[in-house]
Amino acid sequence: MSKRNPRNLLIILGDQLDHESPIFENADPKRDIAWMAEVAEETEHVWCHQLRVAFFFSAMRHFAEELRAAGWEVRYRELPEDAGKDNYPSFEKLLTADLQELKPDGVRVVQPGDLRVEKQLLAACDSAKCGLSIMEDAHFYCGIEEFATFAEGRKELVMETFYRQMRRKHKVLMQGSKPAGGEWNFDKENRETFGKKGPSSLPAMPVYEPDAISNKVLKLVAKRFAKHPGSLEHFVLPVTRAHALEFLEDFLTHRLPLFGKYEDAMWGGEAFLYHSRISALLNVKLLNPRECVEMAVARYEEGRAPINSVEGFVRQILGWREFIRGVYWLKMPGYLELNALDAQGDVPDFFWDGKTDMACARDSMRHVIDHGYSHHIQRLMVLGQYAMLSGVHPRKFHEWHMAMYLDAVDWVSLPNTLGMSQYGDGGIVGTKPYCASGKYIQRMGNFCAGCKFDPGIAIGENACPFTALYWDFLDRHREKFTGNMRMGFQIKNLERKSDEELAEIRETAGRWRAK
Ligand code: SF4
């Protein structure tokens, strides 16, 4: 362990694994020390999926090794096998102790993606009387201040307006002042289904078998986190920069061309379809959004991928991802407390173990348990929608999402779950709740054919829970949604239902809400 007093201690958090990070600007391996830590509380303040813990720890340990190979001294705090939140120091205490021992002249960190972590950093530096410099996160296209300027004076924050501004500013998919392909947004061409036959010959996902570092982490997680949800069986994601780039290339070549067409489609047993699955790699910064966007746009320009795919992909990264981060920093800390629909329920048991008779939810949960992943429609319109319709507290849904998805980091999870998925923010990130009856799920995939429920029925034993809960949800919030133009069609349909029918729907839905 180092005895010298470094000029700067460079704090590298688990979601900051970027060799090009601004933290290394003007840093000197001879005078500065990098500091990384695995902490029990990060895995236990929410009840973390085993694969999520393993992915973060393995990627962190690989990154630390790469830094050492590049000549850096790294003080890396590995979590001991027998450590728990009661017998192992918190992040703040670990850092305070190391600051007191190492006595650096200063501490540097790139803007953490979680306000809670930022507070702990400030407290540790305060206790150890060390100056903390928080650097802007250059990983993102849009800075926190820049987003605040965009938001200033606007009644509503509309993603599409922000997205177009980003496209113009960064000259992405632009032909002069006009959008490439003649439209800004090809969302309408992102909604095809696989029909009755289903997808044919889906490209296989690349698989990365665990190396010695990963195997050590897997052993730790299997022992230390044995009671946590999820499984370690499918530890096949890349955990290094080199493999992350390979993984991205594989998507661009084999799945991007059909990604746009089938972006919203679902199919039983198929977790990935044509999705990139790069969100976890982006969110720990093994991939950079600029390279993802530039490489995808190049495929369009070379005629190797159609505009509906490339624009859809760019919209997710340059539009939605940046917008969501802007909203997080603009609205926090108050955003966490929002609960526009006054939902007070707990996350249902099947969100942890996948045990349910609902075929669509069972399949979605299978992917979450196996891979810490489900693609965005299974996330939004199956699991997310079930939580919203049944009245789960939006913060509890966010905490569940943080626990179970590999790609969940506070800044990205909170506005996506509490806001977009649960409408807990009352319309800050989405102008209406994402809700539909079981008929939507039937149309977009093949689950209903093998399900004991009927998506066309809202009352009784055979009623599809989504359909019953959908009408019950609209009815419970009728007053609130009546003024929302975008809900007009749904409310009109609700008004066609008689009082008797609604009473029976309420009873059916009530049985599901009580579960
Ligand atoms: Fe899901 Fe309802 Fe279809 Fe069953 S019938 S798969 S619960 S939408």
Per-residue pLDDT tens digits for 232-273: 999 999 999 999 999 999 999 999 999 999 999 999 999 999
Backbone angles phi, psi at 158, to 5 degrees: -105, 120
* Total-model pTM: 0.95
Nearest CA, atom 2, ligand 1: 464
Side chain identity, residue 139: H
Q: Is 359 in the pocket of ligand 1 (CB under 6 A)?
A: yes
- The contacts of residue 338 (CB under 8 Å, 6+ apart) are 394, 418, 424, 425, 426, 428
Scanning the structure block, which residue is given the tokens 């048991």? 349
Residues 461/462/466/469 CA torsion (nearest 10 deg): -30
Whether 282 and 411 have beta carbons less than 8 Å apart is answered as no
Cα–ligand 1 centroid distance for 437 (angstroms): 9
| CA nearest neighbour of 315 among 250, 265, 263 | 263
| CA nearest neighbour of 301 among 173, 456, 461 | 173
pLDDT at 40: 76
Q: Which residues of the chain have pLDDT under 70?
A: 1-3, 42-46, 84-86
Q: Is 358 in the pocket of ligand 1 (CB under 6 A)?
A: yes
pLDDT digits (tens, 9 = 90+) for 39-75: 877 666 667 999 999 999 999 999 999 999 999 999 9
pLDDT at 88: 82
Side chain identity, residue 71: G
Between helices 50-69 and 212-224, what is the axis angle to 10°?
140
Pocket test for ligand 1, best of 366, 441, 462, 467 (most atoms within 8 A of CB): 441
Tokens of 420: 């977009």
pLDDT at 87: 73
Q: Is 448 in the pocket of ligand 1 (CB under 6 A)?
A: yes
pLDDT at 503: 98
| Half-sphere exposure (Cβ direction) of 139: Cα atoms closer than 13 Å | 27
Q: What b/e readout covers 256-279, taking b as 16+ CB neighbours within 10 angstroms?
A: bbbbbbbbbbbbbebbbbbbbbbb
pLDDT at 3: 55
Pocket test for ligand 1, best of 466, 470, 508 (most atoms within 8 A of CB): 466
Cα–ligand 1 centroid distance for 381 (angstroms): 12
How distant, in Å, are the alpha carbons of 57, 157, 419 from that of 412? Answer: 20, 17, 11
Atom of ligand 1 nearest to the CA of 361: 1
Atom of ligand 1 nearest to the CA of 442: 3
pLDDT at 483: 87
DSSP state of 33: E
Give the span between the Cα atoms of 411 and 321, in whole angstroms: 10
Pocket test for ligand 1, best of 442, 457, 471 (most atoms within 8 A of CB): 442
Tokens of 66: 């790469």
Give the span between the Cα atoms of 456 and 439, in whole angstroms: 7
Q: Is 438 in the pocket of ligand 1 (CB under 6 A)?
A: yes
Q: Is 141 in the pocket of ligand 1 (CB under 6 A)?
A: no
Q: Is 229 in the pocket of ligand 1 (CB under 6 A)?
A: no
